[in-house]
């Protein structure tokens, strides 16, 4: 009797392939509840196990994990997930149901087989709550249309994304005018003179205002002082607002090894990162500028016509546009203009898809990752973990502009990074708020 009551209290979670490709250890994150893997999911994972992308790694790792957990047990039987606080798991073969999702939706596909697995459990485990877990919104909607409980995979999701975005920049008014004068005179003041007993956040930026003057400052955690931040040129690119000034300061500060810059299109994220890298070109062996490829209609680039170069050019063109914009700040006869051409020709400055750079050693490199919101948390971790001596990494992106089907503003790698690393002395984050591309671009962002 006690055992039956315990079973009734434990839920059954049915995992979709998208959850496992997002996190191979997701099966371990459902506390004391039981987990079911439809056999269709294993069949889909078999198609993903070959390759060097993160999804291929996740597929291989999950298959190894399942093999380790099952040991000598048959996988269609309930098997403990190891540990007293964990539930059990099993693989469910394709069942026969009274309700058949393939017939209901008029098409036989893997998603419908996964729905059939959930329908079978709902019918045969009447005393237990059955929940389909998927990062595919459309599959969750289909499940709900069949009266199946469905939810996203919540582990690692950021709860308050709006609060998180604004981490790193603070505004303070009613500051003593003499304190601001001192910042202009000697360049710094003791942090206590402004922040008092407030918690000091490493590498945070402050806009200080009095009734007479204002100043931009940076909290230096090593010396426990607020330092004045001035607008400075980086390869002839000048910051146009306070946030851009802060971003360029973080990009060019040698004590900050990891930077994230969040902002909508046209706020200057990539331009500032590239200009800052060029300004420090003598301090690094190479500058890498990369972005993940998110193919149109989520089809692999192999489906597109042409050779590999012509396939990749459309994805890399925005990065080349930023480089050309910086180069065109000078005349063709200027040494700065010619230096950029030389850096490209000598592969001291490399613009490539992220997949082409992932396997390289990242020592003595200034590494810019554009569109980082389209990376998973695991991909972000993989990139940072490859950093060697004298490497700096700058991630840029907009957490509200997700182009991959199974990520959102709360679960993407850029949000994950900001949440997990905030306040670390090696890290700084800046949100760019004002579009500086043009008035016309601002109109689009604000009104359309």
Mind listing the pLDDT tens digit for each residue in 256-293?
999 999 998 889 999 999 999 999 999 999 999 998 87
Going by pLDDT thresholds of 50, 70 and 90, the confidence category of residue 160 is: confident
Strand boundaries in 16-119, DSSP class E:
34-38, 79-80, 88-92
pLDDT of residue 304: 45
Neighbours of 143 (CB within 10 A): 26
Read off the pTM: 0.84
Return all residues near 278 (Cβ < 8 A) that are at least 6 apart. 234, 235, 287, 326, 340, 343, 349
Mind listing the pLDDT tens digit for each residue in 39-86?
999 999 999 998 877 888 899 999 999 999 988 889 999 999 976 778
pLDDT of residue 277: 96
149 against 437, higher pLDDT: 149
pLDDT of residue 249: 97
Mind listing the pLDDT tens digit for each residue in 218-231?
999 999 999 999 99
pLDDT of residue 19: 96
- DSSP code of 201? P
Going by pLDDT thresholds of 50, 70 and 90, the confidence category of residue 162 is: confident
Angle made by CA atoms 434, 374, 429, in degrees to the nearest 5: 45
- In this predicted structure, the answer to whether residue 369 has a pLDDT above a threshold of 70 is yes
Q: Which domains does the chain have, with CATH numbers?
A: 7-152 (3.40.50.1010), 161-230 (2.30.130), 246-447 (3.40.50.300)
Sheet holding 130-133, edge to edge: 79-80, 88-92, 34-38, 12-15, 130-133, 149-151
Contact 134, 150 (CB under 8 A): yes
CA 24, 26, 27, 29 dihedral sign is: positive
Q: What is the mean pLDDT of residues 177-190?
A: 94
- DSSP code of 30? S
DSSP-derived secondary structure for 92-106: EP----SS-HHHHTT
């Amino acid at each position: 009797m006690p055992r039956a009551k315990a079973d009734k209290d434990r839920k059954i979670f049915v995992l979709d392939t998208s959850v496992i490709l997002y996190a191979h250890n997701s099966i371990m994150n459902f506390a004391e509840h039981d987990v079911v893997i439809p056999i269709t999911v294993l069949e889909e994972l078999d198609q993903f196990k070959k390759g060097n992308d993160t999804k291929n790694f996740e597929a291989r790792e999950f298959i190894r994990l399942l093999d380790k957990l099952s040991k000598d047990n048959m996988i269609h039987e309930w098997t403990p997930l190891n540990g007293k606080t964990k539930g059990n798991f099993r693989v469910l073969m394709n069942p026969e149901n009274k309700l058949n999702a393939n017939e209901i939706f008029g098409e036989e596909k893997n998603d419908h087989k996964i729905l059939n697995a959930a329908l079978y459990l709902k019918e045969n485990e009447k005393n237990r709550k059955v929940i389909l877990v998927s990062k595919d919104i459309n599959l969750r909607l289909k499940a709900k249309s069949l009266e199946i409980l469905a939810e996203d995979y919540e582990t690692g999701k950021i709860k308050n994304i709006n609060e998180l975005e604004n981490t790193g920049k603070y505004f303070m008014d009613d500051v003593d005018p003499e304190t601001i004068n001192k910042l202009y005179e000697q360049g710094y003041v003791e942090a206590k003179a402004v922040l008092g007993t407030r918690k000091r956040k490493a590498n945070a930026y402050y806009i200080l205002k009095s009734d007479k003057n204002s100043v931009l400052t940076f909290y230096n955690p090593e010396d426990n002082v607020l330092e004045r931040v001035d607008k400075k040129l980086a390869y002839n690119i000048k910051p146009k607002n306070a946030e851009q000034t802060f971003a360029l300061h973080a990009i060019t500060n040698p004590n900050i090894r990891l930077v994230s810059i969040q902002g909508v299109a046209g706020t200057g994220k990539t331009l500032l990162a590239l200009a800052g890298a060029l300004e420090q070109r003598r301090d690094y062996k190479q500058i890498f500028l990369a972005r993940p490829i998110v193919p149109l209609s989520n089809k692999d680039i192999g489906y597109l016509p042409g050779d590999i170069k012509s396939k990749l050019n459309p994805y890399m063109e925005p990065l080349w546009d930023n480089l050309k914009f910086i180069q065109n700040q000078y005349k063709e006869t200027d040494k700065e203009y010619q230096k950029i051409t030389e850096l490209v020709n000598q592969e001291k400055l490399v613009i490539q898809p992220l997949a082409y750079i992932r396997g390289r050693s990242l020592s003595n490199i200034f590494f810019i990752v554009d569109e980082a919101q389209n990376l998973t948390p695991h991909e972000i971790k993989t990139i940072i973990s490859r950093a060697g001596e004298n490497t700096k990494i700058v991630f840029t992106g907009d957490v509200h502009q997700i182009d991959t089907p199974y990520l959102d503003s709360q679960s993407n790698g850029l949000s994950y990074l900001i949440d997990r690393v905030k306040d670390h002395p090696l890290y700084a984050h800046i949100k760019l708020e004002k579009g500086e591309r043009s008035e016309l671009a601002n109109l689009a962002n604000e009104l359309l």
